[in-house]
Amino acid sequence: MSLQYTAVGWNRQKRLYDTVLGCCAAGYLLVFTGVSAALHPSATLETLLIRGLGTLALLMLHVILCIGPLCRLDPRFLPLLYNRRHLGVSMFVTALAHGVFSLVQFHALGDVPPLVSLFVSNTRYDSLAQFPFQALGAVALGILFLMAATSHDFWLRNLSAPVWKRLHMAVYLAYALLIGHVVLGALQSEPSLLLSGFLAAGMALVVGLHLAAGFQERRIDAARGAAQAHGFVDVCDIKAIPEKRARIVSLAGERVAVFRHDGRVSAVSNVCQHQNGPLGEGRIIDGCITCPWHGYQYLPETGASPPPFTEKVPVFRTQVIGDRVLVHPQPLPGGGRSCDART
Ligand code: HEM
Ligand code: FES
């Protein structure tokens, strides 16, 4: 058995995303070094670059950590998720540049190799004031390296999704180490109201969004559990039903056509009253489910044909909870009250 290697599939959207990302990163570095040079005229360009690259990498990490919960809270953020790995690799490259510049600036001139010097030059792990904060940054960088190196789909397939996911959850450990790196390092040696403010706001945002997404998921799970306890059956994801079309499901031995249209989900018997045509293979035309065989029409909410016609198909109660569609298997006679749900 051999594995198929596929090159990264670049498309116009990915190129655009990377161009915008590159321009934003370059713009940030320019503004950061310009403003910092004006505020601290004695600082060297190396120091400004180290600080600019460090804060940029941390900013990117915050964005990365916020994308997941944002998408769970609102699917409109999903386009951000599709390119999150590019953002992750760019963040690692930026952090690596910050780490390498720091190593050169602070550890390259002694007779001990820079990487060894990084870990042995300060061993005051028992002191908060003089804690070797750079070691925290180095361990975090090691984790970010593992994640960037395994970000390609090749690794996702080879490691299997659960192992890959567990490995990439280490981003939260890296985040905690980096908070320590900045609080015990930069903020102790040169307290900055701006950096402290941004860090506190960033942490509050990351934690707040994760909590909000977690609470929403718990609420949805509870609502789904209650609906199922009342006999509703989970039939599919809302995204599995194309707009103005149906998905045909089997409920208690009966085929049911579940339509999605204009922000609503309606379920009707799949059997047309004319000659048993499959309504679920039809479309919604002019607001009516239209049978694909001879064009008989039914209102999706009530199952009744629009006047002056009098045919009726049975309908089913629906619920949409989160992104799941639930249908009650007990049919109701068509032509009654509307019993569909909003998406
Ligand atoms: C080998 C790894 C690392 C080393 C040796 C290192 C070293 C340093 C040093 C020496 C400073 C103080 C710079 C100064 O105040 O002039 C610093 C600050 C900082 N580092 Fe790192 N770092 C590493 C990894 C990271 C990583 C992975 C990130 C983020 C993803 C990061 C983010 C920051 C930030 C935000 C600051 C504060 C910048 C400021 O003062 O405005 N560092 N780091
Ligand atoms: S079977 Fe539906 S219109 Fe004829």
CATH of the domain at 278: 2.102.10.10
229, part of any domain: no
Among all bound ligands, the one having the nearest atom to the CA of 309 is 2
How many domains would you assign to the chain? 2
Query: Residue 196, exposed/middle/buried by CB under 10 A (0-12, 13-18, 19+)?
Result: middle
> What's the mean per-residue pLDDT of the chain?
90
Which residues does a 6 A CB cutoff place in the pocket of ligand 1? 47, 50-51, 54-55, 57-58, 61, 95, 98-99, 102-103, 106, 118, 134, 137-138, 140-141, 144, 178, 181-182, 185-186, 195
Q: Is 245 found in the same domain as 187? A: no
What's the pTM value of the predicted model, to 2 decimals? Answer: 0.77
Q: Is 261 found in the same domain as 123? A: no
So what's the pLDDT on residue 13? 78
So what's the pLDDT on residue 243? 95
Quick check: helix, strand or coil at residue 315? strand
Residue closest to 318 by CA, chosen among 225, 241, 239, 234: 234
5, part of any domain: no
Q: Is 275 found in the same domain as 317? A: yes
Q: Is 120 found in the same domain as 30? A: yes
Q: Is 197 found in the same domain as 54? A: yes
Q: Is 50 found in the same domain as 181? A: yes
Q: Is 250 found in the same domain as 203? A: no
Rounded distance between C-alpha atoms, residue 189 and residue 12, angstroms: 45
CA of 301 to the centre of ligand 1 (A): 60
So what's the pLDDT on residue 10? 67
Q: Is 107 found in the same domain as 20? A: yes
Q: Is 194 found in the same domain as 338? A: no
Rounded distance between C-alpha atoms, residue 213 and residue 217, angstroms: 6
The residue out of 224, 251, 268 marking a domain boundary is: 224
Burial code of 314-329, b = ≥16 C-beta within 10 A, e = fewer?
bbbbbbbbeebbbbbb
CA of 273 to the centre of ligand 2 (A): 7
Encode pLDDT of 218-258 as tens digits: 998 898 888 888 999 999 999 999 999 999 998 888 899 99
CA-proximal residue: ligand 2, atom 3 (nearest): 294
